[in-house]
Structure 1
Amino acid sequence: MLWPKAGIIYNDEKPVACRAAAELKDKLITCGWEVCLATGIGGILGYSSPERPVCHTPIHHLNPPGFDIDMSFAIVLGGDGTVLSAFRQVAPYGIPLLTINTGHMGFLTETYLNQLPLAIDALLSNQYEIEERAMLTVQIVREQDMLWEALCLNEMVIHREPLTSMCHFEVEIGQHAALDIAADGVIISTPTGSTAYSLSAGGPVVTPGVPVLQLVPICPHSLASRALVFADTEPVVIFPANPNRLVMVVDGNGGCYVLPDDQVHIRKSPYTARFIRLKSPEFFRVLREKLGWGLPHIAKPTSVELP
């Protein structure tokens, strides 16, 4: 008899997540499930160094042992960083994730740890729906050879090193004319990432279901350089048009150096991030609760005339 299989991915740097993972594993086994455990560290991309400018972890080498297409779902215990790491590990296998917040902001998480028993009951009784979100494939190409690649749910950022001057970027989007951008850096963001670094850099908020990507310059040296939203069917190639090496970071997690003759290729990934939703997704509610968007203005007190 084959047992149904589930996974647990947890942040092993948080004792509360470790305890919850152990208790959850016992509960699922009691309910007749085969359970595979993994830590969020498995999806960490790592950083390159000046001595080793390429730190290449192929996309399909990040999946934890036992996590495969036969897995019904996986449960993530951690914060947004753990969620991003988990999707890099499981997205190629289409495994849906129930995300449980044991961190602070938890913008990408579905519910909180104190609601875990109710969430598991709903999960095991199939009382949920799946929301799919777009991801990006990011690659560094040097002389036609692919040196580095990563899956990305939020954003890809390429920027100057500290203590260097402003940079120039030549950006090709689909078949459109190339753009020349003078700035400290450039962000290519998914709708999911529109509420992350892109938002801090002045980009718009994009609801998750809209099939677009956006380009956001970081501290541009021109009033004409503003965020650009374009169809996610169009690939992007970034050419660093300056003599100094640059740094590329994916999902705020890891990355590599980009040399003057390198090219950064970004395209919509064939894999999606599959979120388990215990109730119908309501993006505006999350914006209100997490970022305070759309809250009513507080009226100013009535002025009182002094005698």
Structure 2
Amino acid sequence: MCIRDRFKARDVKVVIPQSTESMYMSSYDCPEIDFQEDVDLVMTLGGDGTILGVARQVAEKGIPILGVNLGHLGFLTDLEIPDLFPALGKLLKGDYEIESRMMLAARVLREGLPLKDFIALNDVVINKGPISRIIKLETYLGSEYLATYRADGIIVASPTGSTAYSLSAGGPIVNPQLEVMIVTPVCPHSLNARPFVLSDNQEIRIIMKTDTSDVMLTIDGQVGFPLKKNDSIVVRKADVYTKLVKVKKRSFSEVVRLKFRGGN
């Protein structure tokens, strides 16, 4: 019996997004939606990247997400395939928890005017292109000058994103129950440039000072936006949250221990 049939047998309506139906899978007789309709819960089948993409779509609606891991590490996903059907019973009985994860809001300003807004669950990254040259990034905390980094880039991560790219660049692991931002320079050409943590009421402004067409702003490693010299990128805590459904109710320390040793 497939997932749809198990839900249907319990009078639970199953729908799929229109884009998913057309690109990845048949409809299995499930009605299509565009997330403008009322949905009580979204189930994703994939890895963390799948959740990141869905989180940006549904955050403003406040729809909880249950992730089933088909990928590798799966920090955000709660279930593995062997757990799926036993967990459905708990889900339908309401035997689960919902974690609210802080998100980031990023705004690109060009010539002082707002150009583009983004939200991210994991991180907002400014990174150089394929040519092997460092870029110059002038940073401010609010209106106060902080430092000018000569580096491959800079990462502004949420606590959820602290176990992703930021960790690979030397940033700390931060419990996602905290609401802070982690700022991590990428390969800085300096002996004293270190990651640091900002409170949730601060904002960081980064000005791209290198004249090149190869610098990109990336959102959760999935959305790219080309930057120009003197563009400003302002990152702060977002007004919306991602809600993750936790059926297994594992602690963050347990997840870190299991995932980093390669276990499930």
Superposition RMSD on alpha carbons, in Å?
2.1
Which residue does 1:38 correspond to in 2? 17
Q: What pairs with 1:128-143 in structure 2 (closer than 5 Å)?
A: 128-143=96-111
Alpha-carbon displacement from aligned partner over 1:159-189 (angstroms, at most 9, x marks no partner): 1112142111111122433321111100000
Partners of 2:20 and 2:135 in 1: how far apart? 33
Of 30, 38, 43, the match for 1:75: 43
Which residue does 1:152 correspond to in 2? 120
Determine if contact 2:137/2:207 at 8 Å carries over to the other structure. yes
Determine if contact 2:104/2:238 at 8 Å carries over to the other structure. yes
Alpha-carbon displacement from aligned partner over 1:175-222 (angstroms, at most 9, x marks no partner): 433321111100000111111000000011111111211110111111
Which residue does 1:288 correspond to in 2? 257
Which residue does 2:148 correspond to in 1? 180
For 2:4, the aligned partner's letter is K
Partners of 1:117 and 1:155 in 2: how far apart? 32
Distance 1:107 1:242, change over 3 A: same
Q: Is 1:277 matched up with 2:257?
A: no
Which residue does 1:11 correspond to in 2? none
Partners of 2:19 and 2:124 in 1: how far apart? 20
Of 124, 128, 139, the match for 1:171: 139
> Which secondary structure state, in structure 2, belongs to the residue aligned with residue 209 of structure 1?
coil
For 1:284, the aligned partner's letter is S
Which of 26-35 and 131-140 deviates more? 26-35
> Which secondary structure state, in structure 2, belongs to the residue aligned with residue 151 of structure 1?
strand
> Which secondary structure state, in structure 2, belongs to the residue aligned with residue 71 of structure 1?
coil
Determine if contact 2:108/2:115 at 8 Å carries over to the other structure. yes
Q: How many Å apart are 1:98 and its aligned residue? A: 1.0
Residues matched between the structures, number: 251
Which residue does 1:195 correspond to in 2? 163
Which consecutive unaligned segments of at least 5 residues does structure 2 have? 22-31
Determine if contact 1:75/1:100 at 8 Å carries over to the other structure. yes
Which residue does 2:185 correspond to in 1? 217
Point out the structure with max Rg over C-alpha: 1
Partners of 1:163 and 1:180 in 2: how far apart? 21
Which consecutive unaligned segments of at least 5 residues does structure 1 have? 1-19, 43-63, 294-307
Distance 1:69 1:234, change over 3 A: farther
Which residue does 2:203 correspond to in 1? 235
Calculate percent identity across the aligned residue pairs: 35
Distance 1:133 1:105, change over 3 A: same
Determine if contact 2:123/2:157 at 8 Å carries over to the other structure. yes
Q: Is 1:249 matched up with 2:218?
A: yes
Distance 1:34 1:146, change over 3 A: farther
Q: Is 1:90 matched up with 2:55?
A: no
Q: Is 1:208 matched up with 2:176?
A: yes
Determine if contact 1:171/1:180 at 8 Å carries over to the other structure. yes
Q: How many Å apart are 1:40 and its aligned residue? A: 8.0
> Which secondary structure state, in structure 2, belongs to the residue aligned with residue 182 of structure 1?
strand
For 1:165, the aligned partner's letter is R
Partners of 1:138 and 1:169 in 2: how far apart? 16
Q: How many Å apart are 1:35 and its aligned residue? A: 2.1
TM-score normalised by the chain length of structure 1: 0.76
Alpha-carbon displacement from aligned partner over 1:62-118 (angstroms, at most 9, x marks no partner): xx9352473221111111110111111111100001111112221211011121111
For 1:106, the aligned partner's letter is G
Partners of 1:97 and 1:189 in 2: how far apart? 20
